[in-house]
Structure 1
Amino acid sequence: MALVTISGYPSSGKSTRALQLKKYFEDKISEPVYEGPLKNVVLISDDSLGLTRDGYNDGRAEKPQRAALFTAVQRNLGTSTVVIVDGLNYIKGFRYQMYCAAREAQARVATLFVAATPEICRTWHQSKPEDARYTEATFENLIQRYEEPSSMVRWDSPLFTVPWNEAETPVEGVWQAITAGVLKPPNAGTKAIAKPPADALQALETTAATIVATIMEAQGLGGSSGGKTRIWSKSGGQTETAVYMQLPARTVTLAELQRLKRQFVSMHKKAITQGATENGPVDWTEDGIAEKLGDYLEERLVAGV
């Protein structure tokens, strides 16, 4: 999958470039020798989404416009799709938002900047039908607010700049970027947090309680000599899972074990909503909880952490 963001002043010729890219990509995909994963091309624009230019007349109306565009981008970032975003894309924060969505979807990215002077854009803007024009005030405001892409920032890279008076669009370069360019991993902040199973809290409580009871029983049978003690065992099919821990050479009281159990459970309740603890991801199986609790008790009872 891939995302191509087109950016430029209003009426700079972005839609013309978008159509050139779309045709080139479709021709490449239809070649008999092509065996890549990309199978279709989707062109997203204000026009394709039925968004009017009046939506850019004020900030409150513009936010839903951008939200609709962003939602369409996310919806179309499929495993075999090239998404071309033909829009103003004049705010670097919005380009960054689309870039993060592409990285989360494991899509390659490229940005095409259509460079034109404000004077040329004004002339082309006036030549359009009235229903395809912005108001004069809105047009000038968009020119003033435009934040030009830069190859120095990751969300605009790789950046392809094409002057308004250049007939050819760098279609081959963009194609290489979205088919053979560097595929960046998702940002840590955009990764979905793994959710624990619905019965995670119950498993946490019951497993911890069982281990406390097992330790008290083992001490009653063997005295306070300490040493390696089996604190958990469970049979599954033809295999048996066993967890051992080192007990101190003294009697551990029930109150002490209950206090450590409550600390352990409280700490891991937080992980039920976050999917991880300070010590890393949690194995929410009973065996995994037993192993974690065994390590936790050893650190505090034997090592004195």
Structure 2
Amino acid sequence: MSLVTLVGYPASGKSSRAAQLVASISKLLPPHLSAVVVSDETLNIAPSAYDDSRTEKPARAALFTAVQRMLSPTTVLIVDAPNYIKGFRYQLYCAAREMKLRVCTIYVVATPDLCHKWNDARTDGRAYSTATLENLIVRFEEPSSMVRWDSPLFTVPWNEELPTSDIAQAILSGSVKPPNSGTIAAVKAPTDALHVIEQIATATVDAIISAQAETQGSGGLVTLPISSELKLPISLPPRNLTLSELQRLKRQFVTVHKKAVTLGTTEKGAVDWTEQSVAHKFVTYLEEYLRS
């Protein structure tokens, strides 16, 4: 469905805004959809995890893993955490795009003095230490509507109402950006891909040699019986192709495609290593060479 990223200073009121948003959005959702909040609190990540980078990194990784697990076409997922690093917000954005979900960012704005005041007033054991709170405020990277991973951006000052109708429109009916090359997972070739390439290329060469013997080198369009179930047409030149020439072309073809298998080349996401596909690629490769 969508991913909503809350951004703001620690103790700026993000959790209150998340609760307001859930209450408002839930009324608009059909029964099969839901609004869910994932936060440091729901994951039992203590505020003290931000005291030191050695504990903050695994805490942030745990949050990101939870977000990936909870992203769903049937869920409005609200991430209630500091999210103060733009690189982390970009990670969240990429995860949502990979799932083809809508995204939006809500920037909850409060002054540092207010954040210190509200943090000191907490009695639930989830207050930040003064030094950690100040450090996070100094390191905070403000979101911008000019960058795609923070857009659409809703800036909500602490003393203003949450624009729930505009947010609802963005996350329920806004545009869905398709995954790009940076978010598409590489498609792995099957384990027998190399064997299929070698086997089909060899069978194709043998079929061409047999076809030339029957046509006596006259060329033209012939059908190659590559296997009992696979037959493909090919245009041969009006001359005999020698076995050494065909073997050389076969080696070139196999070498290129071995590299594609080894490196995980996705061919724009459409990898097909079936016998028919490999045979068609090899015949096309040969015809292009013979026309040149």
TM-score range for the pair, normalised by the shorter chain length: over 0.9
Q: Does 1:216 align with 2:216?
A: no
- Cα deviation for residue 275 of structure 1 reads 4.4
Q: Does 1:179 align with 2:167?
A: no
Q: How many residues align?
A: 291
Q: Report what 1:18 is aligned to.
A: 18
Residues 232 and 276 of structure 1, relative CA distance in 2, 3 Å threshold: farther
Q: Report what 2:279 is aligned to.
A: 290
SS at match of 1:44: strand
Distance of 2:102 and 2:12 partners within structure 1: 25
Q: Does 1:41 align with 2:31?
A: no
Q: Report what 1:63 is aligned to.
A: 57
Q: Deviations over 1:133-168 (max 9, x none)?
A: 2222211110100011111111111111111122x2
Q: Are the equivalent residues in 1 in contact too, given 2:6–2:78 (CA < 8 A)?
A: yes
Letter matched to residue 271 of structure 1 = A
Distance of 2:228 and 2:172 partners within structure 1: 50
Q: Give the structure-1-normalised TM-score.
A: 0.89
Distance of 2:61 and 2:225 partners within structure 1: 52
- Unaligned runs of 5+ residues in structure 2 are none
Distance of 1:89 and 1:303 partners within structure 2: 58
Distance of 2:251 and 2:79 partners within structure 1: 53
Q: Report what 1:226 is aligned to.
A: 219
Q: Are the equivalent residues in 2 in contact too, given 1:95–1:156 (CA < 8 A)?
A: yes
Q: How does 1:80-95 map to 2 (within 5 A)?
A: 80-95=74-89
Q: Give the structure-2-normalised TM-score.
A: 0.93
Q: Deviations over 1:85-134 (max 9, x none)?
A: 10000001111110110111111111111111111111112212383222
Distance of 2:42 and 2:271 partners within structure 1: 45
Residues 235 and 255 of structure 1, relative CA distance in 2, 3 Å threshold: closer
- Cα deviation for residue 220 of structure 1 reads 2.3
Q: Report what 2:253 is aligned to.
A: 264
- Cα deviation for residue 285 of structure 1 reads 2.1
- Unaligned runs of 5+ residues in structure 1 are none
Q: Does 1:276 align with 2:266?
A: yes
Q: How does 1:125-204 map to 2 (within 5 A)?
A: 125-129=119-123, 131-166=125-160, 168-204=161-197
Distance of 2:266 and 2:100 partners within structure 1: 23
- Cα deviation for residue 171 of structure 1 reads 1.5
Letter matched to residue 286 of structure 1 = E
- Cα deviation for residue 251 of structure 1 reads 1.9
Residues 85 and 127 of structure 1, relative CA distance in 2, 3 Å threshold: same
Q: Does 1:118 align with 2:108?
A: no
Residues 282 and 264 of structure 1, relative CA distance in 2, 3 Å threshold: farther
Distance of 2:267 and 2:85 partners within structure 1: 36
- Cα deviation for residue 196 of structure 1 reads 3.2
Q: Find the partner of 1:99 among 65, 69, 93.
A: 93
Distance of 1:227 and 1:277 partners within structure 2: 31
Distance of 2:199 and 2:26 partners within structure 1: 58
Q: Are the equivalent residues in 2 in contact too, given 1:270–1:277 (CA < 8 A)?
A: no
Distance of 1:71 and 1:146 partners within structure 2: 22
**Percent identity, aligned pairs only?**
53
Distance of 1:123 and 1:281 partners within structure 2: 56
Q: How does 1:225-264 map to 2 (within 5 A)?
A: 225-232=218-225, 242-264=231-253
